[in-house]
Amino acid sequence: MKNNASKKILIVDDESEMRVALETTLQREDYQLVCAEDGKQALDELENQDFDLVLTDVRMPKLNGLELLRAIKESSPKTPVVMMTAYGTIDNAVEAMKEGAFDYLIKGSGFSADVLVSTVKRAFIDPLDYVPPARPTGMIENSDLTGSKRIVTQNEEMKKLLKFAENVAYSKSTVLIMGETGTGKELFARYIHQCSPRASKNFMAVNCAALPEGLLESELFGHEKGAFTGATENKEGKFQLAHQSSLLLDEVTEMSLPLQAKLLRVLQEHEVDKVGGRAPIPVDVRVIATTNREIRRRIQDQEFREDLYYRLNVVPINLIPLRERKDDIPLLAEYFMKQFCQENSRSPLKMDSATLTLLKKYRWPGNIRELGNIIERTCLMCQGDTLLPSHLFFDEEPLTSGKKGALPTGTIYEMEKDLILQTLEEFNGNKTKAADSLGISIRTLRNKLNEYNTGE
């Protein structure tokens, strides 16, 4: 028996057939359903009772889906809203995502019942309060890990993502990890595997961008001897090798469309077709995919299959760029510094506070990987026991003032002031966020600002 009976969904669509189709599908999943014919009627319903989710068409008379979304985000911002749209009005759906819609489904292509149900299910998994039904004991957590496998962070949002990853680890759900280059996507994927009941088996990984189509196909699905010229041996694909384990599909958006179709089949049918093979081979694989590209853009450009996206994106994890979690910079810098000293048998190094200030000012296009590299380089440059700004060289120009390749000038007081005012500007004057990002308390931030005001 599914435990959906307590969830109430409002269906809003002006086409009665659509309403009936949605209702029938979701009824089978045991949800409580209420239907409305347009945005206005939906608002009336919302005034009378609470809903756990709203599923709405975009184009409707009286009040359209976008207007309805705005009204809902005003009155009950936490209620997830899923938009339904036709291909022609996909812009509206993207707009809606920016305004806080949970996701969108495309009509016309006839999204399947499966997609509808999985989207609705996902909307009910809130990363922040997702509680798994039961957690096997004896699983590892980040805090138990040591050495290079640990995910170093003190950022609150990242800690929530870690907790979330630990919770979803033991399910079989496909995970899609998104984030800029060097944000730790692979590290996260390995971590999910380590936390999962599959941890005793070997973690497998394939970089989908690294191989040409034919080779990637063999690599993933394997081939029989003689299947094509050069296939002199039987080869087991990574899917087969990852049986009862986890498989990382790195940069999944780089897969060709025919391979995407094949991947979709594996995810749906849980069996692989070897190239030249006669019978499909059943496999039990936990797929974790990563991308640093704008996957929605790829879908819009028809370079990535939308149905595959929904299969992969059962559990989405969005890693935060380093520039948006500056409170992690001191911790990570310290961690990389220690690692360097250990690996090179050097006595412990310290970091000058001005050096740290500069690190916090930088944009970090290469995120944690770049920080690691720069710390290593800085340690190499440093002869003494303290990393000074003069030892520091960035790959890109620092965000702020300063001449070409030069370090920002002025006293530390001036640099700090610059940094604080600029960060404040970056966050549109939001002191809490600015303080967070700077890694100082809001009280310190206020004091500094007062100081600057009276000092001028």
Ligand X SMILES: Nc1ncnc2c1ncn2[C@@H]1O[C@H](COP(=O)(O)OP(=O)(O)OP(=O)(O)O)[C@@H](O)[C@H]1O
CB of 152 to ligand X, least distance (A): 4
Cβ distance to ligand X smaller for residue 210 or 261: 210
Task: Compute the distance between CA of residue 453 and CA of residue 18 in angstroms, rounded to an integer.
Answer: 60
For strand 222-223 and strand 103-106, is the pairing parallel, antiparallel, or unpaired? unpaired
Q: Is residue 246 within 8 Å of residue 192, measured between CB atoms?
A: yes
Task: Compute the distance between CA of residue 414 and CA of residue 432 in angstroms, rounded to an integer.
Answer: 22
The correct pick among 39, 80, 372, 439 for binding ligand X (CB under 6 A) is 372
Contact footprint for Mg ion (CB under 5 A) = 186
Q: Does 439 bind ligand X (CB under 6 A)?
A: no
CB of 312 to ligand X, least distance (A): 16
Cβ distance to ligand X smaller for residue 127 or 276: 127
Site string for ligand X, 276-315 (x = CB under 6 A): ----------------x-----------------------
Q: Does 187 bind ligand X (CB under 6 A)?
A: yes
Candidates 91-99, 147-155, 352-360, 407-415; binding stretch for ligand X (CB under 6 A): 147-155
Q: Does 222 bind ligand X (CB under 6 A)?
A: no
Using CA of residue 142, residue 143, residue 148, residue 153, what is the dihedral sign?
Answer: positive
Q: Is residue 298 within 8 Å of residue 253, measured between CB atoms?
A: yes
Select the residue whose beta carbon is closest to ligand X and give its number. Answer: 184
Question: 221 is written with which tokens?
Answer: 């699905």
Residue 39 interaction partner, one of Mg ion, ligand X, none, beta carbon < 5-8 Å per kind: none
Residue 417 Cα distances to 85, 390, 425, angstroms: 48, 20, 12
Cβ distance to ligand X smaller for residue 107 or 185: 185
Q: Does 246 bind ligand X (CB under 6 A)?
A: no
Task: Compute the distance between CA of residue 220 and CA of residue 205 in angstroms, rounded to an integer.
Answer: 10
Q: Does 440 bind ligand X (CB under 6 A)?
A: no
Alpha helices, DSSP H, located in 251-304: 257-269, 295-300
Cβ distance to Mg ion smaller for residue 115 or 208: 208
Binding to ligand X (CB under 6 A) within 53-112 occurs at none
Q: Does 175 bind ligand X (CB under 6 A)?
A: no
For strand 81-85 and strand 103-106, is the pairing parallel, antiparallel, or unpaired? parallel
CB of 207 to Mg ion, least distance (A): 8
Q: Does 364 bind ligand X (CB under 6 A)?
A: no
Nearest to 66 by CA among 27, 30, 94: 94
Task: Compute the distance between CA of residue 401 and CA of residue 409 in angstroms, rounded to an integer.
Answer: 8
3-state helix, strand, coil in the chain (%, to 5): 45, 15, 40
Rounded to 5 degrees, φ, ψ at 246 are: -115, 145
Candidates 97-105, 310-318, 368-376, 404-412; binding stretch for ligand X (CB under 6 A): 368-376
Candidates 112-120, 146-154, 235-243, 357-365; binding stretch for ligand X (CB under 6 A): 146-154
Strand order across the beta sheet in which 286-291 lies? 204-207, 246-250, 286-291, 175-178, 315-318
Question: 28 is written with which tokens?
Answer: 């089978």
The correct pick among 39, 184, 237, 408 for binding ligand X (CB under 6 A) is 184
Residue 369 interaction partner, one of ligand X, Mg ion, none, beta carbon < 5-8 Å per kind: ligand X
CB of 182 to Mg ion, least distance (A): 8
Which residues make Cβ contacts (< 8 Å) with residue 412, sequence separation at least 6? 353, 354, 357
Candidates 111-119, 162-170, 181-189, 281-289; binding stretch for ligand X (CB under 6 A): 181-189
CB of 189 to Mg ion, least distance (A): 8
Candidates 112-120, 225-233, 365-373, 441-449; binding stretch for ligand X (CB under 6 A): 365-373
Task: Compute the distance between CA of residue 374 and CA of residue 385 in angstroms, rounded to an integer.
Answer: 17
Residue ranges in contact with ligand X by CB under 6 A: 151-153, 179, 181-187, 292, 368-369, 372
